[in-house]
Structures are given as C-alpha cells and as structure tokens.
Amino acid sequence: MRVIVTGGAGFIGSALVRHLVLEQSYDVLTIDALTYAGNLASLRAVEGRAHHRFLHADIRDGAAMKAAIHDFRPDRIMHLAAESHVDRSITGAADFIMTNVVGTFTLLEAARDYWNGLADEAKAAFRFLHVSTDEVYGSLDENPEALFREDTPYDPSSPYSASKAASDHLAKAWHRTYGMPIVVSNCSNNYGPYHFPEKLIPLTILNALAGRELPVYGAGENIRDWLYVEDHARALDLIVERGVPGETYNVGGRNERRNIDVVHRICQVLDRLLPADRPREELIRFVTDRPGHDARYAIDATRLENELGWRAREDFDSGIEKTVQWYLDNAWWWQPLRDGYGGERLGLLEKTA
C-alpha cells in the first residue's frame, strides 16, 4: 500500500504517519511545507525507515504536487495539510484561505490528473481522504443533547472554520462532478503527544510546568469533545480503507469537557506526577473572550462506530494522563520550539484557544 499524507509533519498528520509506517508497514510519502507548526522532530520515529520518504513542498504548488503524485504513484492520498489555529485566522485570514481553500483545490486537481491516467482496476481502488473539522458545523448553543451528525448543516463561525467548510465543499464537488473516489472526515478537538504548544492542552501543560499564569477565555464554559490523536489516526486509516466514496464520517471521542474542567484536570495530573510548591490551579486566570467563540462542539460518531467498527481506546482521563506524562518525558521535542520562537511568539503567556 502506497500512501501520500499531506501535512504529515503536523500534529495529527505525524500521528497518522507514525501509525501507517510503524503499525501498518505502508510505504508513505509525507508532504509538508514546514510552516511554523510543522516539525520534522515529530517524525523522528520513522526517520530512516525504508517505508517512509519526506518531501518539503507546499500543496499550493501545482507543479510540485503533480510531480510528487505521479512519481510516487499512491494508492491513497490522505489530505491533512491546513492552517488550523482559530486565533491566527482572526488576525490573519489570508493564509487560511490560501492554504485551506486554494491549496486543497490545487491538490485535488493534481490528484485528478493522476487518477484519470490510472488503469481501470487501480482507478477503482484509489481513494482520496479529505480530513476536516467539526468546527464547520458551527456551535451547539441551545440544546444540551444535540450532536453534530454527518447531515448537520454547515454554519462556520471563524475564518478558519469557513475556510475548512469551503475545502469540504470542494472535495465533495470533485466527487460529484468528476467521479473521484473522495471521502471526507470531520473530527472533534484532538489532543496528545507532539501537539504544537499554541492550543489549549499543550499550552496549559507547558505554562503550568513553568509556573506561569494559565489564561482561560471567558469563564471557561465553552465545551469541546476531546479525541486522543492516536485514536483519530486509527479512524482515518479505517475510513480511507472502508469508507464509501462521496460520504462523510464524523470522528469524536465522546468526551465532552468544559475548557475550565480541562485546565483543572491538567493541573491535578501535573500536581500528582510532579508536585510544585503550590497547587497549579492557583495559576488560572480568566481573560476576555475571543470574538465568535463557539459555545459547544460535540460529535455523534455512531456512523463510524456502527458501519466501520471503530471505537476510541482512550477516554479523557486515560488520554490526558498519557499526554501530560509525554510532555514530562519529552522536553527534547518541545523545548527547542519554546526557545526558538520565544515564549510570547509561541503562545506561552498568551490566551488559550
């Protein structure tokens, strides 16, 4: 099996690459532009493996994408390359439009050119997986029992989620118009090892370790469904293997938590594993909420569970324990990021997302 993974040096992408190479022994070509959140250190576990190659390239470069796809001749393309940080999209939306919309279009066209040239059997077996987010559905504000399902209408709130919604529509249109065997997945909030420290969980862990304030938006009441990244990687492998072209599969951990509860839990785990002079919960500070902050996300993963047989292996307590322990054990990975960018530029001492 030959697989191209775009965005494979990022958080979710690197987890997927490690799974495909180390667990499945697939031949994998990782493509990544190595922008600020791409990190080759996240691929150290597959470095030098015969089954893995890396290409430093941008998905917006049509010639490079066409050449890479034709040269590698993949059975599958798994597209994860994206700008993904909501706060950054609010202050600088252009990069999100260029990467998430224009980049996806460019990659789809390169893939279509390759797919059209395949023999009938290979053409039927080929799959393109477009990996997206639950944020395209907007916010579950009123009904506490409501969940995002595959047929939930799109209602994006931020430039980031709008750009991902646009890319989802492109992927589905390329299936309907050209017949390409494309599958779409939409996931809830991921967490786990190798998470670039600008997002809530890694940012909280590193600030807490440094004894710095732990800023939380608003009153911390925003609710997210948390998905352990290695569970997500297994889901993506299953979706591209058994998912029906033209269909969407939602991936969620069934672990809804308020942001403030997530921060409290991280503090409690850290205090037990590495006691400090005072409880780290005393570092929590509430800050002004960000614009357009969605109240609640929650995924209904029934289709994925019933039709494809996937189940999350980690609940939030087991996953957060593994995550905190990983950051304690792997300063070699995150310390160069912190020192290279400087605390403020990286997000340390800034607001959490």
pLDDT per position as a tens digit, 163-172: 999 999 999 9
> Any idea what DSSP says for residue 19?
I
What's residue 353's pLDDT?
37
Report which secondary-structure segment, H or E, holds 154. Answer: none
Instruction: Decide yes or no: CATH 3.40.50.720 for domain 2-196+227-255+293-315.
Output: yes
Q: What gap in Å lies between CA 75 and CA 89, rounded to an integer?
A: 33
Give the CA distances from residue 200 to residues 159, 252, 294, in Å, rounded to whole numbers and listed in that order: 19, 18, 15
Name the more confident of 274 and 84.
Answer: 274
Q: The dihedral of CA 344, 134, 259, 306: what is its sign?
A: negative
213 within 8 A of 283, measured Cβ to Cβ: yes
Per-residue pLDDT tens for 245-283?
999 999 999 999 999 999 999 999 999 999 999 999 999
Per-residue pLDDT tens for 99-128?
999 999 999 999 999 999 999 999 999 999
Which residue, 268, 35, 241, is CA-closest to 11?
A: 35
Q: The dihedral of CA 98, 27, 191, 36: what is its sign?
A: negative
Active site positions, annotated = 134-135, 160
| Paired tokens of 2 | 């030959």
Q: Where are the domains of the chain?
A: 2-196+227-255+293-315
% of the chain residues with pLDDT over 90: 89
- Model confidence band, residue 341 (pLDDT cutoffs 50, 70, 90): low
Which residue, 79, 296, 272, is CA-closest to 167?
A: 79
Please state, rounded to an integer, the average pLDDT across all residues of the chain. 94
What is the DSSP pairing of strand 182-187 with strand 214-217?
unpaired
Whether residue 201 is predicted with pLDDT greater than 60 in this model: the reply is yes
Which residue, 255, 256, 266, is CA-closest to 311?
A: 255
What's residue 348's pLDDT?
45
| Paired tokens of 50 | 């015969």
> Residue 309 class from Cβ within 10 Å (0-12 exposed, 13-18 middle, 19+ buried)?
exposed
299 within 8 A of 148, measured Cβ to Cβ: yes
With tokens 């929590």, the residue in question is 284
Per-residue pLDDT tens for 202-220?
999 999 999 999 999 999 9
Rg (CA), the chain: 20
With tokens 């990286």, the residue in question is 346
| Average pLDDT for 56-85 | 97
- Model confidence band, residue 340 (pLDDT cutoffs 50, 70, 90): low
209 within 8 A of 327, measured Cβ to Cβ: yes
Q: What gap in Å lies between CA 60 and CA 102, rounded to an integer?
A: 6
- Coil, helix or strand for 33? coil
> What secondary structure, in 3-state letters, does 272-286 show?
HHCCCCCCHHHHEEE
- Model confidence band, residue 339 (pLDDT cutoffs 50, 70, 90): confident
